[in-house]
Amino acid sequence: MAKVAVYPGSFDPMTLGHLDILTRASKLFDRVIMAVAQQSSGKRPLFTIEERLRLIRDNVTHLPNVSVEAFSGLTVAFAQSHQASVIIRGLRAVSDFEYEFKMYQMNMHLNPEIETVFMMAGPEYHFLSSSMVKEVALLGGDVTGLVPPSIGESLAKTSSQMLSTPQKDT
Ligand code: ADP
C-alpha cells in the first residue's frame, strides 16, 4: 500500500526551510500532501489561504508526488480522510521541541494509528521562520535566499501595499 504523509503548517509564507523538508520528505514517502492551515490559533496570516496555496503550488511543480491542499480542523482528521498514516514536522532549534512534543502526544492520543515523523531542518535553515521573513520584508529588508524568488516578490509587493495603506489607530 502507498505510504502517504501529510506535512501540515501555516506556511505564511512557505520558506526555503519548509521547501527543504518537503523535498526530503518527498523522497521518503510515495505521496506527500502539504496541508495548509486556513487558520491557525493566535496567528493572523499575512497571505490569504488562496495566495498561500498559489505561492506553494508555483514552487513545487518539480515534485511530482507532492500535492497542496487547504485544511481546517484537526490534522489527524485530515490525515485519516486522505489515507495518510504519517504527519511530518520540521524541527529547528531546541525551542521547537517542547511545542512539537506536546503536539505529537496529543495527536497520538487522538489517533494512535498516525505516526509523527520529525525531520531536522537543514543547517542553513535552523533560524529561519515565516514570521522572521515577514518582519524583514515589512521593514524593507532583502529576503533573497530565505524564500523562493516568486514568494520574495509577493512579500515585497504585499509589504509595500501595507505600508502605503494608512493603518487605523486602535
Ligand atoms: P505551524 O503554524 O504549524 O507552526 P509553520 O508554517 O510555521 O506552521 O511550520 C510548519 C512546519 O515546518 C513545522 O513543523 C515547523 O517546525 C517547520 N518549519 C518551520 N520553519 C522551518 C525551517 N526553517 N526549517 C525546517 N522546518 C521548518
Q: How far apart (Å, rounded) are the C-alpha atoms in residues 98 and 143?
A: 28
Q: How many other C-beta atoms lie within 10 A of the C-beta of residue 87?
A: 23
Encode the chain (170 residues) as per-residue pLDDT tens digits. Answer: 899 999 999 999 999 999 999 999 999 999 999 999 998 777 789 999 999 999 999 999 999 999 999 999 999 999 999 999 999 999 998 888 999 999 999 999 999 999 999 999 999 999 999 999 999 999 999 999 999 999 999 999 988 887 777 655 54
What global pTM score does this model have? 0.93
Looking at ligand 1, which residue's alpha carbon is closest to its atom 18? 90
For residue 41, the model assigns a pLDDT of 72
Contact 55, 89 (CB under 8 A): no
For residue 169, the model assigns a pLDDT of 56
Amino acid of residue 32? V
For residue 137, the model assigns a pLDDT of 95
Active-site residue flag, 62: no
Contact 90, 57 (CB under 8 A): no
Active-site residue flag, 43: yes
Contact 151, 55 (CB under 8 A): yes
For residue 10, the model assigns a pLDDT of 96
For residue 167, the model assigns a pLDDT of 59
Ligand 1 centroid vs 147 CA: distance in angstroms? 13
Residues sharing a CB contact under 8 Å with residue 51, sequence separation 6 or more, in sequence order: 154
Comparing C-alpha atoms, which of 74, 61, 47 is closest to residue 133? 47
Comparing C-alpha atoms, which of 3, 9, 11 is closest to residue 148? 11
Q: How far apart (Å, rounded) are the C-alpha atoms in residues 127 and 120?
A: 12
Looking at ligand 1, which residue's alpha carbon is closest to its atom 15? 90
Looking at ligand 1, which residue's alpha carbon is closest to its atom 23? 17
Active-site residue flag, 18: yes
Starting at the earlier edge strand, list the strands of the sheet with 86-91: 66-71, 31-37, 4-9, 86-91, 115-120
Q: Is 128 in the pocket of ligand 1 (CB under 6 A)?
A: yes
* Active-site position among 10, 52, 89, 130: 130
Looking at ligand 1, which residue's alpha carbon is closest to its atom 20? 129
Q: How far apart (Å, rounded) are the C-alpha atoms in residues 113 and 86?
A: 9
Active-site residue flag, 27: no
Q: Is the peptide bond before 64 cis (omega within 30 degrees of 0)?
A: no
Residues sharing a CB contact under 8 Å with residue 82, sequence separation 6 or more, in sequence order: 4, 6, 33
Ligand 1 centroid vs 167 CA: distance in angstroms? 29
